[in-house]
Amino acid sequence: MRSTTEPAAIQLLTPEGERLDDPRYPLDVDRETLRRLYQDMVLTRRFDVEATALQRQGELGLWAPLVGQEAAQIGAAYALEARDFVFPTYREHGLAYARGVDPLGVLSLFRGTSHGGWNPNEHNFGLYTIVIGNQALHACGWAFGDRALGGDSVALTCFGDGAMSQGDINEALVWASVFDLPVVFFCQNNQWAISEPLEKQTRVPLYHRAEGFGFPGVRVDGNDVLGVMAVVQDAVRKARAGEGPTLVEAFTFRMGPHTTSDDPTRYRVDADVEVWRHRDPIERLKVYLAHTGDADSTYFAEVDALAEQLGERIRTGTRALPDPTPESWLSGIYAEPHPYVDADIATVRAWENAEVQP
């Protein structure tokens, strides 16, 4: 039996906040970018914590927490250019925030007031995908089309470790390999496919699977925002230069439940959670910023104040989201008017008019 021992991951920032260099993945990041990385991770966590609280209060139907995965998502976001396109799952709240998607758009989906929440073309950020692994095929199709039209953009598609067992992901890996597509497959390996641990999903590290499809794979410390940024930047650069796809495995840990309908205490031990709590992605960058003098207590207080403002906006804005109209059930089915849809809308309007009659 092959070993599942955890291999060394690319790391540029240790859990203690020590900066490392790796000649394979050089990263020149200035003071302002470091501060923005920290701020976006803090605001992403506040977004997530507020949404979880709203679900517990009955304001959202469901929520998929991401606490612990902020560095993976923000680091990946900062490695992209505006022209690149992200194809997310249902947990990419940090990537959505960093790409400019309004948090209330994300929350409208989980509140049930919208079928999507935002226009994918406004920020080159696709709608959340609930079908596990389906978005990887979308990424390949988009990349294929962009290249056929003479573009040089890159598609980044996100998924978890559990999705690596799905047919859609493996079909996408085949398609990207055979057609040498500019796709970065970004696996956030949080070690739990709901309640199924990693050792019951694979006998080898997930990034090794790329080799079988004929392209590179790399594992990075998913709690190291600088390491993720550097590794994804390298994968994006290669894809844009015509060197094909890369599988990036961001090795991290889901600190909370899979969704708010899940109870992780039933299948994992507190000791494992505590180990990863000491690898907190936000705290390690905070220590580094303080040590280098790139940030001080005044800056950290300002970020905390921004988080408070975001929390208040999320709480009040979510409760103020307007209820959808019955007609909205039928919108977005076709790009152009369609007689069948028009007939259905007319039926709905007639029903609405009948409802208000005395």
> Which residues are catalytic, by number?
254, 258, 267
The DSSP 8-state label assigned to residue 66 in this structure reads: -
Contact of 182 with 239, CB cutoff 8 Å: yes
> Which phi and psi (to 5°) does residue 317 adopt?
-70, -35
Rounded Cα–Cα distance for residues 265 and 222 (Å): 23
User: Distance of CA 40 to CAs 75, 96, 172, 263, Å?
Assistant: 10, 11, 30, 28
Sort 312 into a burial class: Cβ within 10 Å, 0-12 / 13-18 / 19+: exposed
Cα angle for residues 239, 244, 247 (degrees, 5° grid):
85
Rounded Cα–Cα distance for residues 116 and 132 (Å): 17
If you write DSSP's letter for every residue of 176-236 in order, what string do you get? HHHTT--EEEEEEE-SEETTEEGGGT-SS-GGGHHHHHTS-EEEEETT-HHHHHHHHHHHH
